[in-house]
Amino acid sequence: MLRRIWAITQKEFIQLFRERATLILLLVAPLLQLALFASAIHTDVKHIPMVVADQSVNQASRAYLNAFVQSDYFDIVATVASQADLVTAIDNGQASLGILIPPDFAAQVKLGQAQVLMVVDGSDSYTTNSAYNTANAISQSYAVSLIHHSVTPLTMSVRILYNPDLNQLWFIVPGLLAALVQGLTLGLTALAVVREREVGTIEALLVTPIRPVELMLGKTIPNLVIAFANTTSILAVAVFLFGVPFQGNLLLFASLAIIFAFSGLGLGLVISVASQSQMQAQQLSGMFNFVGMFLAGFLFPAYALPPVLRAIGYIFPMTYFLPIVRGIFTKGVGITAIWGQVAAACGLLVVVLFAAARLFRASLD
Amino acid sequence: MSNGTGLDPQQPIVVRNLTKKFGDFVAVDNVSFAVNAGEVFGWLGPNGAGKTTTIRMLLGLLHPTSGSTHVLGLNSATQTKAMHAIVGYMSQQFTLYNDLTAAENIRFYGMVYGLSNRDLRQRQAEIIQMAGLEGREKALTSTLSGGWKQRLALGCAIVHRPKVVFLDEPTAGVDPISRRDFWTLIYAMAKEGVTVLVTTHYMDEAELCQRIGFISQGRLVALDRPGRLKQTQMRGDVLELNVSNPDLAMRILKAAQQSGQLPLDEVALYGAQIHAVVPSAEAYKEVLRALLSTAGIEVRSLERIAPTLEDVFISAVNAPA
């Protein structure tokens, strides 16, 4: 049995090394993706283009607008006359936020009842939320600054664990590692079986002593090596290039990463065995990867999902691995804090490998 | 149709009352035969007759609707993997890895069949020699031409020295010289006691088989040595006509066949000659000559000939159920 698995593994390695260009792409592409995503994903939007209709034009209104510019979150891109002009500027995509300061602004401030109008572009959620929240906060703090010598009745003392400076990369990179590894493992094995079916080589394998489970394992092992190399290089780039601190036990992380990669490869095999053509397998793995991003808790926390979607999320290894990677990488916890996830991940691994072998046998008749 | 060939369980290939249905379609219909040890057995029939379906059941890749197959005493359906370890199979499609070298393909299959490293080295050398691939061991399989690929595929199928080998159209699409070389290899195997079941569409290859099973629409319609089939299976005599206008002659004979004017079992063009199967040569020779002469066709020769295997099969296919 071991010799048969080794025969397949060896054959897969030879084929892999023969396609030098593909191999290099497999090893380098995840790093490029990491670099790209890590630089591009910003949940905290700065330099929002803002248009202003200042009908007051005096010291008070200038001071108020100055607070916006000083914050770095807004850039005043145009100054217009009326509310209609504000809306036009947002319609044109010139600005995402418009502020209208009425002519009697200074007088009303003195009376303690000033009002400004904020017009927000509601077509893009990140910008809308960010613009609305930030503009609101700036206005509030400006309002507070107007009340001289007042004593704030409540102050919060905030201590943020693990990432006290709220470094964006620290938030994104560990999850990104999980998302990248899930995507690449799915892709690595998605073609493994269906390719042989399409070119007809499977026909000969079926009449040899090879059993389905041996075929599955033999095809997984070389890909496991690649996936592990990928995980290691992604981790190295995250730590040494992006400076995200690795807090936990590296050995524990490595062994769990192998289980994670293994279940991703297993899921890819299920896709491969269920597919009728390479085209179909590629489409399916792309879809799984995309859906997995949303349901496994990478983009939104999984607990915020409706129950049905959460249930679907359980077929993705990332659902279990995301808390594991954040736990070990960012929080530095040990196995005791994540053993539930680890057990579930192992369970999923067994289920997908069994399903792949079973589906393979069923597809023959 | 079994010509007294009792189904002896000791025989290397035994097929008993084998039936396979796909929905309402009966692909293989109550077929029984057995192949003797060391025999080259031709498994013939038109496309879609059920040849490959039978082989797939023998190999345990398909399960019979009813009946059974045994290979080397092992039930194909229940002892599949044990059987796979001791038989060889070469399928219609080319199944070796094009991105591996010739030697790597042999090595892969050798390992899959559990050969030791020493055995493997010896077999590799033997197969390279058998396939005539000396000096090309390191060539990518995709760069080899048809005949080489075919012989290499055979080599990989017999790397573990199986006692029974199934060859499904092994020579399809290769040149005549390569086909002849391939059959030399088949006979070399048979001489060493290997039982070979082979399918082919080439009639010259069918003549080379020691015994033939002919399947048509799922039913076994003939089973015997090629020489005896020509004597026993042919209903009627074959006339060979050499005429001045074969196309016109064909049209006239076909029309006469369809209208029932002449009881022709079969009319077919073989190159420039026409073969017509009539109930009796003596009774119909002059009838045919008269019919064609009336149409202004010059009949240069009109002779009764010994039937070819092809005539026999066409006759068998057209025989009433």
Q: Which residue has the tokens 């060493």?
A: B192
Same domain membership, residue A95 and residue A171: no
Using CA coordinates, name the residue in chain A closest to B56. A207
Q: Which of B198, B229, B260 corresponds to the end of one domain? A: B229
Residue B97 sits at the chain A interface (C-beta within 8 Å): yes
Q: Chain A: nearest CA to B225, how far in angstroms?
A: 29
- A264 occurs within a structural domain: yes
Same domain membership, residue B89 and residue B204: yes
Same domain membership, residue A279 and residue A192: yes
- A158 occurs within a structural domain: no
Which residues does chain B have within 8 Å of residue A199's beta carbon, measured at their own beta carbons? 98
Q: Which CATH number does the domain housing residue A106 bear?
A: 3.40.1710.10
Residues 196-225 of A with CB under 8 A from B: 199-201, 203-211
Same domain membership, residue A106 and residue A194: no
Q: Which residue has the tokens 């010139």?
A: A94
Q: How far is CA B309 from the centre of its chain?
A: 12
Q: Mapping DSSP to helix (H, G, I), strand (E, B) and coil, where does residue A341 land?
A: helix
Cα separation, A328 vs A334, in Å, equals: 7
Q: Chain A: nearest CA to B92, how far in angstroms?
A: 10
Same domain membership, residue B248 and residue B121: no
The pLDDT value given to residue B281: 86
Same domain membership, residue A173 and residue A80: no
Same domain membership, residue A190 and residue A294: yes
Same domain membership, residue B186 and residue B240: no
Q: What pTM was estimated for this model as a whole?
A: 0.82
Contact A7 B111 (CB under 8 A): yes
Tally the domains of chain A.
2
pLDDT digits (tens, 9 = 90+) for B79-110: 999 999 999 999 988 999 999 999 999 999 99
pLDDT digits (tens, 9 = 90+) for B67-78: 999 999 999 999
The pLDDT value given to residue B3: 40
Query: What distances in angstroms separate CA A321 from CA A179, A180, A253, A354, one per listed residue?
Result: 10, 12, 10, 20
Determine whether B304 is exposed, middle or buried from the number of CB atoms within 10 Å of its CB (0-12, 13-18, 19+): middle
Q: Which CATH number does the domain housing residue B264 bear?
A: 3.30.70.940
- A156 occurs within a structural domain: no
Q: Which of B204, B229, B254 corresponds to the end of one domain? A: B229
The beta-carbon neighbor of B81 closest among A10, A200, A209 is: A209
DSSP string, B97-165: -TTSBHHHHHHHHHHHTT--HHHHHHHHHHHHHHTT-TT-TTSBGGGS-HHHHHHHHHHHHTTT--SEE
The pLDDT value given to residue A152: 66
3-state secondary structure A279-328: HHHHHHHHHHHHHHHHHCCCCCCHHHCCHHHHHHHCCCHHHHHHHHHHHH
Contact B84 A207 (CB under 8 A): yes
Which residues does chain B have within 8 Å of residue A200's beta carbon, measured at their own beta carbons? 91, 93-95
Find out whether A262 and A312 touch, Cβ atoms under 8 Å.
no
Give the residue among A131, A165, A164, A176 at the shortest CA–CA distance from A41. A176
Arithmetic mean of pLDDT over chain B: 91
Tally the domains of chain B.
2
* Host domain of residue B272: 234-318
Same domain membership, residue B302 and residue B195: no
* Host domain of residue A79: 48-146
Angle among Cα A291, A292, A295 to the nearest 5 degrees reads: 85
Contact A7 B94 (CB under 8 A): no
> Which residues touch A334 (CB under 8 Å, ≥6 apart)?
A248, A249, A252
Cα separation, B297 vs A122, in Å, equals: 91
The pLDDT value given to residue B320: 63
Same domain membership, residue B216 and residue B268: no
- A215 occurs within a structural domain: yes
Give the residue among B104, B97, B152 at the shortest CA–CA distance from B129. B152
Cα separation, A38 vs B143, in Å, equals: 45
Q: Chain A: nearest CA to B125, how far in angstroms?
A: 19
Q: Chain A: nearest CA to B131, how far in angstroms?
A: 19
Find out whether A82 and A53 touch, Cβ atoms under 8 Å.
yes
The beta-carbon neighbor of A209 closest among B96, B97, B114 is: B114
Same domain membership, residue A54 and residue A33: no
DSSP string, B212-252: EEEEETTEEEEEE-HHHHHHHT--SEEEEEEES-HHHHHHH
The pLDDT value given to residue A149: 55
Residue B24 sits at the chain A interface (C-beta within 8 Å): no
- A349 occurs within a structural domain: yes
Same domain membership, residue B181 and residue B290: no
Q: Which of A5, A203, A210 to mutate to test the interface with B (most CBs of B within 10 A)?
A: A203
Q: Which of A116, A146, A176 corresponds to the end of one domain? A: A146
Same domain membership, residue A138 and residue A59: yes
Give the residue among A364, A360, A4 at the shortest CA–CA distance from A192. A360
Contact B114 A4 (CB under 8 A): yes
pLDDT of B5 over the 50 cut: no
Angle among Cα B181, B183, B186 to the nearest 5 degrees reads: 120
| Tokens linked to B195 | 């039982």
Find out whether B305 and B239 touch, Cβ atoms under 8 Å.
yes
Cα separation, A172 vs A350, in Å, equals: 29
Sign of CA dihedral A355, A356, A357, A358: positive
Q: Chain B: nearest CA to A13, how far in angstroms?
A: 11
pLDDT digits (tens, 9 = 90+) for A94-141: 998 999 999 998 888 888 888 899 999 888 777 788 888 888 888 888
- A279 occurs within a structural domain: yes
Angle among Cα A123, A124, A129 to the nearest 5 degrees reads: 115
Strand B13-22, strand B25-35: pairing: antiparallel
Q: Which of A86, A111, A146 corresponds to the end of one domain? A: A146
Query: What distances in angstroms separate CA B287 from CA B256, B259, B284, B305, one per listed residue?
Result: 11, 15, 5, 17
- B188 occurs within a structural domain: yes
Q: Which CATH number does the domain housing residue B84 bear?
A: 3.40.50.300
Regions in chain A scoring below 70 on pLDDT? 42-44, 148-153, 364-365
Which residues does chain A have within 8 Å of residue B99's beta carbon, measured at their own beta carbons? 15, 18-19
Q: In this prediction, what percent of chain B has a pLDDT beyond 90? A: 65
Q: Which of B206, B229, B252 corresponds to the end of one domain? A: B229
The pLDDT value given to residue B1: 40
Using CA coordinates, name the residue in chain A closest to B59. A207
Same domain membership, residue A93 and residue A14: no
Using CA coordinates, name the residue in chain A closest to B62. A365
- B1 occurs within a structural domain: no
Cα separation, A101 vs A61, in Å, equals: 7
- B3 occurs within a structural domain: no
Using CA coordinates, name the residue in chain B closest to A9. B108
First-residue to last-residue Cα distance in chain A: 24
Same domain membership, residue B149 and residue B40: yes
Same domain membership, residue B169 and residue B44: yes
Same domain membership, residue B312 and residue B221: no
The pLDDT value given to residue B56: 94
Sign of CA dihedral A347, A351, A352, A354: positive
> Which residues touch B141 (CB under 8 Å, ≥6 apart)?
B96, B97, B98, B99, B100, B101, B102, B105, B149, B152
Same domain membership, residue B178 and residue B48: yes
Cα separation, A127 vs A130, in Å, equals: 5
pLDDT digits (tens, 9 = 90+) for B123-159: 999 999 999 999 999 999 999 998 899 999 999 999 9
Residue B129 sits at the chain A interface (C-beta within 8 Å): no
- B139 occurs within a structural domain: yes
Same domain membership, residue A135 and residue A88: yes
Residue A10 sits at the chain B interface (C-beta within 8 Å): yes
Same domain membership, residue A256 and residue A108: no
Find out whether B85 and B134 touch, Cβ atoms under 8 Å.
no
pLDDT of B169 over the 50 cut: yes
- A271 occurs within a structural domain: yes
Same domain membership, residue B272 and residue B248: yes
Find out whether B223 and B313 touch, Cβ atoms under 8 Å.
no
ipTM surpasses cut 0.90? no
The pLDDT value given to residue B211: 96
| Tokens linked to A94 | 């010139």
Cα separation, B64 vs B62, in Å, equals: 6
DSSP string, A15-72: HHHHSHHHHHHHHHHHHHHHHHHHHH--SS---EEEEEEESS-SHHHHHHHHHHHHTS
Q: Chain B: nearest CA to A18, how far in angstroms?
A: 8
Same domain membership, residue A54 and residue A35: no
Contact A201 B95 (CB under 8 A): yes
Contact A199 B98 (CB under 8 A): yes
Residue B98 sits at the chain A interface (C-beta within 8 Å): yes
Contact A203 B108 (CB under 8 A): no
pLDDT of B220 over the 80 cut: yes
Query: What distances in angstroms separate CA B254 from CA B100, B248, B288, B293, one per listed residue?
Result: 53, 10, 12, 16
- B150 occurs within a structural domain: yes
Same domain membership, residue B220 and residue B118: yes
Which residues does chain B have within 8 Å of residue A11's beta carbon, measured at their own beta carbons? 97, 100, 104, 108
Using CA coordinates, name the residue in chain A closest to B63. A365
Residue B117 sits at the chain A interface (C-beta within 8 Å): no
> Which residues touch B43 (CB under 8 Å, ≥6 apart)?
B51, B54, B55, B197, B198, B199, B212, B213, B215
